[in-house]
Chain A
Amino acid sequence: MIGAAAEAAGAAAVPGAASLSFSGRAMASPLTLTIARRSPGNEDDLRGAEVAWAAVVDEFARCEDAMSRFRDDSEITRLNRLAGWASLTVGGRLVHALVASDRARRLTGGRFDPRVINALERIGYEGAVVPLTAVVQTDRVVDLDRRAGMVRLPAPVDLGGIGKGLALRWAARRVEEALPGFGFLLDAGGDLVGRAPAGDGPTWRIGIEDPRLPPGEEGPPLAVAELSRGAVATSSVRRNRWRSGDGRDVHHLIDPRTNEPAPTDLFAVTVAHADPAWAEVWAKALFIEGLATIGPDARARGLAAWWVEADGTLAMTPAARERTIWSG
């Protein structure tokens, strides 16, 4: 992963005097850090921005080492291979991710559950080789022996979405440490975390992608929302759709209750949340919830959520409407 710094000259006016932009790749997605400079040409800003970008690159590399199921040597792959029968000592990031996943499973009533790796492998979304396991016999995602510092998985897990959210959370924290008071926007393949510059200045404007566009094709957003501080994540079937071995059209968003791809009466769900990991969790859980109950459920939880229905209609919760500055 190599970052390249550049003075941003994008279509949108960046909050602050100007911006610095760094880009690279991580977790199979483009990774971009945009920093709002306080004064153009300030060398201290540039040095701080470089430190912040290095911290972002380092954080994503560490998270990938811990949580990527596509890597043969990651901690999660080694732990997945021991699932159901042995414990392992792993690092704090992975322990944190597993505990957060377990909590997310409970809070979403099982609509979010990382123990869908068997279903993903079955429909052809393959990662590092992990032996298939029997049906899960426990509700727990992880068994922790804190005294011995050991972790055991009842069943193998895929930490894809929440893993990226946690990487964004920790990377954003390191950016704030490197550049206190600066506005920044960190974009990991469409999942975002940012903070507007201090004061009453402009906020970041986030476009909500039209999921009906074919992959690779760019088009105008369905809506534009403001982001002053927090995160935005989207669960969508625009990409990661394919035909499985048995001839079905499938996608990567598995409903843990059926172990099958969730019925696609929604194209995409976007959630704005204070925390990027929870934005990921709720975007996925609401997508799996489906069109029938997504509105009442998202409203009842006070979530800022936008969703695109199968006919292309964009709907949103009242909290999302407050943040929306334009919709087509």
Chain B
Amino acid sequence: MTDKRRPVHVPVLVGASAALYAASLAGVTALQSAADRATIEARAPAAAAVDRLAARNEAVAKALDGLRGRMDATGTDYGAAADALGSVEVRLGDLATTVADVAGQVAALPDRIALPSVPRAPAGRAAPSVHAVTGASGK
């Protein structure tokens, strides 16, 4: 009887190849991991600085929001004051008109008014009796 023998070198080669591949893959992975770790370590300070900048940026943004709110309020107040000033200006204008009218009327008044003569005492009426007389001292 004939014993049919299978060749063993094929699985050995496949196995060896696979092992070599695995070893290579492991080596590459290890190298890659080391390189990544080095890169991460090198970039860590920059990342921290970026985080700090981001935080400050956020704070500045918040402050700007607050300032914007106050500016809006100030703008509102200014608008109200401007309205009030406008009202005062209108009233001042009215007052100026009134003053000008009065000044014009005063200027139109005569300097002197001739009053009718009035008798200081009824004719023939004698001086009433008095209690004392004021006059030159040293009598």
Contact = CB atoms under 8 A, between A and B. Distances in A.
B136 interface: yes
B110 to A, nearest CB: 18
A164 B138 CA distance: 11
A121 to B, nearest CB: 17
Contacts of B120: 327-328
B121 A327 contact: yes
Of B125, B127, B128, B135, most buried by chain A (CB within 10 Å of CB) is: B135
Contacts of B131: 10, 12, 14, 34, 185, 204-206
B136 A224 contact: no
B121 A328 contact: yes
Contact of A209 (B129, B135, B138): B135
B120 to A, nearest CB: 4
Interface residues of B, number: 17
A189 B139 contact: yes
B90 to A, nearest CB: 38
A221 B133 contact: yes
B127 A221 contact: yes
Contacts of B136: 190, 209, 211, 215, 234, 236-240, 268
Contacts, number: 104
Given A189-B139, A239-B139, A327-B120, A206 B127 contact: no
Contact of A12 (B130, B134, B137, B139): B130
B132 interface: yes
Contacts of A220: 126-127
Given A327-B121, A328-B127, A268 B133 contact: no
A187 interface: yes
A326 B139 CA distance: 25
Interface string B112-126: 000000001100011
A205 B120 CA distance: 17
Interface of A: prevailing SS: strand
Pick from B130, B132, B134, B135 the residue with the most CB of A within 10 Å: B134
Contacts of B138: 28-29, 189, 239-240
Contact of B130 (A205, A211, A236): A205
A43 B34 CA distance: 137
Interface of A: 10-14, 28-30, 32, 34, 161, 164, 185, 187-192, 204-209, 211, 215, 220-221, 224, 232-234, 236-240, 268, 270, 325-328
B135 A238 contact: yes
Nearest to A231: B134
B121 to A, nearest CB: 6
Given A30-B139, A189-B138, A239-B138, A208 B133 contact: yes
13 contacts: A12-B130, A29-B137, A164-B137, A185-B132, A190-B136, A192-B134, A206-B131, A215-B136, A224-B127, A234-B135, A237-B136, A239-B139, A325-B128
A134 to B, nearest CB: 30
Contact of B134 (A13, A191, A239): A191
Instruction: Report which residue of B121, B132, B133 has the largest number of chain A beta carbons within 10 angstroms of its beta carbon.
Output: B132
Contacts of A12: 128-131
Contacts of B121: 326-328
A207 B137 contact: no
Contacts of B135: 190, 208-209, 211, 234, 236, 238, 268
